[in-house]
Amino acid sequence: MSKHTIFLPAVAAAIALLATPALGADKDKPEHLYGPEPTWEQFRSLAEAGIQARLIDPESARISWSAGFFKGMFRPFLEGRYHGYVACGTVNARNRMGGYAGASGFVVVIDYDRVLYAAIERVLGGLVEAPCAKMARAGQFPPLPAGAITASVMGAAPAPVAVTAAAPNTPTATVSAASGLSLRAMPDGAYISAVTPDSPAALAGLKPGMVVASVNAIPLAGMGDAMLKVVDAAGVTASLAIVGGRTVTLGAKP
């Protein structure tokens, strides 16, 4: 028997041992005591400051939100757990060459009025966007509060205060009866606010909180309310690319 024959099973056993949690480890840990739940504006302000701090050109940041935050836990790859209020979004900012690099996903965990964890995706569909997409598919993210600010452009002059009462700053919503999707236009795509049971969208595994990035390879970012018509006109067998890297076909089981 060669040394390699003995060595390889030993390595495999060591990896399996490292990947196996110690019995009773989680049971022995005290339950996390969460701080007071922040308002959306409090959370957004802290989160955007945390994301800006990780950018080369913070003042150029364009941050977008498609859903609210939830109280729970986020565990980065090969790191410990972060308990708090968790949300995901996208950010586009200038790189070292002075040009915009394109929207990248980010995740933020906040508790007791401070940023416990913040990370920006460096590889499409990687260590940030993939878990964010998984949490969205699980329905963990609630819709944004009515009238919530969904996008921020850093360094922009503040908007003048309106003297007369204005309508709430809520994105236009539409319902596609054929596909079973209720959608809102967002900066990075069409936000799914509801899914009709037993519809083509439900059969495809779509859930509220997901964001449709493209339909039949047509990008939706920047279209405004026109994107809602594009989704509706695509029919009940359209191919939808979801933010985070997943692609589904309406009516087809995942």
143 and 183: one domain? no
User: Does residue 160 surpass a pLDDT of 60?
Assistant: no
Tell me if 222 is assigned to some domain. Answer: yes
Residue 152 and residue 48: Cα distance in Å, rounded?
9
Tell me if 4 is assigned to some domain. Answer: no
191 and 231: one domain? yes
Residue 180 and residue 202: Cα distance in Å, rounded?
7
Return the pLDDT at 25.
45
Residue of 245, 66, 32 whose CA lies nearest to 141: 66
Instruction: Categorize the per-residue pLDDT at 6 as very low, low, confident or very high, splitting at 50, 70 and 90.
Output: very low
Instruction: Categorize the per-residue pLDDT at 187 as very low, low, confident or very high, splitting at 50, 70 and 90.
Output: low
pTM, to two decimals? 0.54
145 and 177: one domain? no
Return the pLDDT at 167.
35
**CB burial readout 142-165, b (16+ within 10 A) else e:** ebbeeebebebebeeeeeeeeeee
Q: Beta-strand (E) ranges in 96-186? A: 104-111, 114-120, 151-153, 173-176, 181-186
Number of domains in the chain: 2
209 and 106: one domain? no
Tell me if 93 is assigned to some domain. Answer: yes
Tell me what the mean pLDDT of segment 211-224 comes to.
79
Residue 105 and residue 130: Cα distance in Å, rounded?
9
Which burial class, exposed, middle or buried, applies to 30 when counting CB atoms under 10 A from its CB (0-12, 13-18, 19+)?
exposed
Tell me if 158 is assigned to some domain. Answer: no
The DSSP letter of residue 85 is E
Alpha-carbon torsion angle 225, 226, 227, 228, nearest 10: 70
State which residues form the domain around 77: 40-153
Q: Which of 153, 184, 211 is the C-terminal boundary of a domain?
A: 153
183 and 141: one domain? no
> In this structure, what CATH number is given to the domain that contains residue 200?
2.30.42.10
Residue 125 and residue 133: Cα distance in Å, rounded?
9
148 and 62: one domain? yes
Q: DSSP alpha helices (H): ranges in 104-155?
A: 129-137
Tell me if 230 is assigned to some domain. Answer: yes
Residue of 160, 155, 137, 132 whose CA lies nearest to 65: 132
56 and 145: one domain? yes
Tell me if 108 is assigned to some domain. Answer: yes
89 and 187: one domain? no
Tell me if 59 is assigned to some domain. Answer: yes
Tell me if 5 is assigned to some domain. Answer: no
Whose structure tokens read 């990780």?
54
Return the pLDDT at 68.
94
141 and 77: one domain? yes
244 and 194: one domain? yes
120 and 50: one domain? yes
179 and 139: one domain? no
Tokens of 5: 């024959």
Provide the 3-class DSSP secondary structure of residue 137.
helix
Provide the 3-class DSSP secondary structure of residue 2.
coil
Instruction: Categorize the per-residue pLDDT at 171 as very low, low, confident or very high, splitting at 50, 70 and 90.
Output: very low
